[in-house]
Structure 1
Amino acid sequence: MSVTELDSTIGNTLVTRVTDNTDVPIRSLYSNQPAVLIFLRRFGCQLCRSYALKLSNELHPILKQNNIAFIGIGLERFGLEEFQKENYFSGDLYIDEGKKAYQTLGLPYLGWFKGITDLFLRSTKAWNDETKKMGVQGNLKGDGFQLGATYVVGPNDGKVWLAHPQKDYGDHPSVDEIIKALRDNIPDFHE
């Protein structure tokens, strides 16, 4: 599914803010400022944790400096407490109960066979090596076959500046790709 603006696709979809268990429409996450939205596979996934940590360390300071929201959206609560306790993500966290946004966006669900074979792909192995170097560990609790995505969106209508749905477990946009999307769309963006 090609998504050019989030508002018409998932803007009205409710997600639960982790800090106070309040349901808010996704539109509210980018209505007043640009946002980087990370749809995480699982809070317990070590590859997701290392990606979240990498973005938190390398990207989030630049986002704060430019008043850009940094949002993580998970599909269930399994592993959330540990994810927060270990400070893998420095942005705001939300839960998409029932995977409504994931499904509407058409984010792939791998199933058993593809889910197992994707463990042996080059990109998954490469990201797993990076994860080991970072010392990040995970668990197998929860839905392990749902893939996530990274979106960089503009304020108001949620025009998509970068859409990167995962093709496999190790498929993530680089920090440089995210920064380029922001730099190309925000005239006074500074690093």
Structure 2
Amino acid sequence: MCREEASDLSSLKAQLDECGVYLYAVVKENVGSEIQLFRPYFSGEIFLDQQRGFFGPLERWMGVSGILRGGVWMNGWRAYQSGYWGNVKGEGFVLGAVYVIGPQQQGILLEHREMEFGDKVQKSDVLQAVEQIKTQQLSLKFK
């Protein structure tokens, strides 16, 4: 279901570029050619964090019992109906998140943490957060 969300976020790339906002993904593992297979769904830069520093000291997990939740099945069905077939390699129990981070002291403008697998961010929420980013005009002085 990560591929579905990556594709949704990538559909905003032109609007993000217009606002000077970059699209990044941080992944925790690269089993086989996993990252290469993910690239067609994500139009931003992908970083591999094998030490899991970005994920923090308290990773958010959903155990095996998570697949028994109705919402997970509904999210999976939605992704499948949209043509996304997930990757089942790797450990796959860490929940993901989407952040919109402003420059300097603005910090985190949007934090969407998955509550269960496939709980994706609303594109309208991303665009609303991007609109809050205050860009600083730089004056160039030529000598």
State the TM bucket, normalised to the shorter chain.
0.7 to 0.9
- Could you say what secondary structure the match of 1:99 adopts? coil
- C-alpha contact (below 8 Å) 1:166/1:172 kept by paired residues: yes
Aligned equivalent of 1:165, options 86, 95, 113 = 113
Aligned equivalent of 2:72, options 113, 116, 124 = 124
- C-alpha contact (below 8 Å) 1:107/1:148 kept by paired residues: no
Q: What corresponds to 1:24 in structure 2?
A: none
Amino acid at match of 2:5: Y
Residue 186 of structure 1, CA deviation: 4.2
Cα deviation, 1:128-165, whole Å, max 9, x if unaligned, reads 12211221112321121111111111012460001112
1:83 lines up with 2:31 in the alignment: no
Moved more, 140-149 or 128-137: 128-137
- Could you say what secondary structure the match of 1:171 adopts? coil
Aligned equivalent of 2:99, options 143, 151, 155 = 151
Unpaired runs of 5+ residues, structure 2, are 136-143
Unpaired runs of 5+ residues, structure 1, are 1-46
The aligned length equals: 133
- C-alpha contact (below 8 Å) 1:108/1:167 kept by paired residues: no
Q: What corresponds to 1:65 in structure 2?
A: 18
Task: Tell me the percent identity.
Answer: 26
After superposition, the Cα gap between the structure-2 partners of 1:185 and 1:67, relative to the gap in structure 1 and judged at 3 Å, is closer
- C-alpha contact (below 8 Å) 1:148/1:166 kept by paired residues: yes
After superposition, the Cα gap between the structure-2 partners of 1:61 and 1:125, relative to the gap in structure 1 and judged at 3 Å, is farther
TM-score for the superposition, normalised by structure 2: 0.82
- Could you say what secondary structure the match of 2:47 adopts? strand
Q: What corresponds to 2:10 in structure 1?
A: 56
Computed over aligned residues only, the root mean square deviation of the Cα atoms, in angstroms, reads 1.9
TM-score for the superposition, normalised by structure 1: 0.63
After superposition, the Cα gap between the structure-2 partners of 1:172 and 1:159, relative to the gap in structure 1 and judged at 3 Å, is same
Residue 183 of structure 1, CA deviation: 1.9
Aligned equivalent of 1:99, options 52, 57, 66 = 52
The runs of at least 4 consecutive aligned structure 1 residues that moved more than 4 Å come to none
Residue 52 of structure 1, CA deviation: 0.5
Aligned equivalent of 2:61, options 96, 109, 116 = 109
Amino acid at match of 1:50: E
| Greater Rg over alpha carbons, structure | 2
- C-alpha contact (below 8 Å) 1:148/1:165 kept by paired residues: yes
**What is the rounded CA distance, in whole Å, between the counterparts of 1:56 and 1:171 in structure 2?**
17
- Could you say what secondary structure the match of 1:97 adopts? coil
